[in-house]
A and B are shown apart, each in its own frame.
Chain A
């Protein structure tokens, strides 16, 4: 029997479907659903029972048809593939036999979603962080949230964006929140702070608490502009590029200069990046381990391909903008 409209069934046991898992849980978290709904999601996607246990309380178990099962025992829970969430509870899926391709990802996203949901419900601070950076919240709501966070007196608070799996490494009020491009961790800082080495972060513009939605938007742009080589990007250091990035950040066809970069082979892109970062052909050659005349020849060829000379003053600016916009075209939060 074939339902005309199709029906959501368990994910392929063999093929990895990371994006589907991530988007499923992101949608649930953005919708503010409860723990049972998260468990139903894990159960239906994995095609088996999913469970959640908080110390001292009866576990919750949900079957793949969305049915609530009897709690079972804690002993049973510990034998299944499981994860401890950052709030200290445990989630698991009751998989008999070999793990399916998406089991680990389902567990990871379930654990993250459970932690966010628990935090939202348990702590008014988490909820307040979410309100204070949300542009669609009313001015009054945001003012109340800011005073709850003791941010109402400060003039230079900034929102800092991290990937959601980054623990709260920087002191300050924090929460994991839904963004149009997936989950992100926000930390609110006022004053000097430090990001540990190797952690990607986007630092938003500075301002009074009522401008935190703008700060958060700029932090997300900054996070997406980061790279492994330059993991921390400060929106205030972007200058007018921030304006360009915000204006360009909407769905639609890529700018021709971005499309031109996308069409290049990896080596050409490396040469361009090295030249832009190093500032001269010789310095780029040394970074790349190439002879400077080879770099020069490659840049000559690229001038023809791009339609502008990335070595000329105007070409440098044009390339820098195209490179930033290309980074924003990457899916998710980079």
Chain B
């Protein structure tokens, strides 16, 4: 007998990648690994990559939660003029690691293709800055972006929010805040394998335990850093854990994707279902045999290409390209 639940098998091409990356990327991240993970995500030559892609970068210090200084980077095509679509980006990293350039490569194509301006926010990380710091910093960045739309060259009617993993959860939380506080209007929310639920109670979290990428243990590590003793209790807001929202009406159209072999599968599917139940619009893709963030780790794989194409396609329709 085994105490492991049956789970969808990994896609063979992705499984082969997992076999190679598994040595450097353990499935289970525990709290004592957070400092090591932060050291491992060194500041890499993002500027070289931007130059190569013909994208300019300008850093601006703005007021975050409670007025503290936080930094946003404004990314635009070199010599950008006029107004065009805007993309507000909230990065991933389990609420505990990463910087505003994690996952940004996914946005480069949109900047180029739609002549768009991207604002990506350096929100403060848990556990040093627990909830509500991350989501409030992200919201402050969105408000700043909307208020400076004209100066940034962003058409306020074509501003979307996008994020992957924890960044997807933050993007969902910020969208809820914008709705509830009468904040900036968003044209869409791109939730890439989003981290939405702190309760650790789904079938998929039990299935992905000790395997794959960002397993159950890692997820508990991330949420515990963000929420401390509140994790799993009634004292968690819908902005910290959007899966707890019972009313998802009045939100911008959502794009949601995930893999069938990842912890976030069930909460991501449920989020789309709740949007539909409340009369909203959502496009949902569950990629069979995909582990968490497979399209970032194995962009060459057939399924990653399909996932990226589906996402690009949705964004193109929303931005009216």
Q: A residues bordering B, Cβ < 8 Å?
A: 1-8, 20, 23-25, 27-28, 30-33, 36-37, 40-41, 43-44, 64-66
Contact = CB atoms under 8 A, between A and B. Distances in A.
A20 B292 CA distance: 22
B20 interface: yes
Contact of B20 (A2, A8, A37): A8
A66 B105 CA distance: 17
B92 interface: yes
Interface residues of B, number: 42
A37 B300 CA distance: 10
B103 interface: yes
B220 interface: no
Contacts of B247: none
Interface in B96-116: 97-98, 101-105
Nearest to A20: B20
> SS class of chain B's interface: helix, strand, loop or mixed?
loop
A10 to B, nearest CB: 11
A43 B298 CA distance: 13
Contact of A66 (B20, B49, B98, B300): B300
A4 B98 contact: yes
Contact of A6 (B19, B24, B43): B24
Query: Lowest 7 A-B CB distances belong to which pairs?
Result: A31-B12, A66-B300, A27-B16, A1-B46, A2-B44, A1-B101, A44-B300
B12 A5 contact: no
Nearest to A63: B300
A47 B104 CA distance: 22
A23 B22 CA distance: 12
Contacts of A32: 12
A56 B121 CA distance: 55
Contacts of B45: 1
Interface in B250-277: none
A1 B16 contact: no
B25 A1 contact: no
B44 A24 contact: no
Given A3-B103, A40-B302, A31 B97 contact: no
Contact of B105 (A1, A33, A44, A64): A1
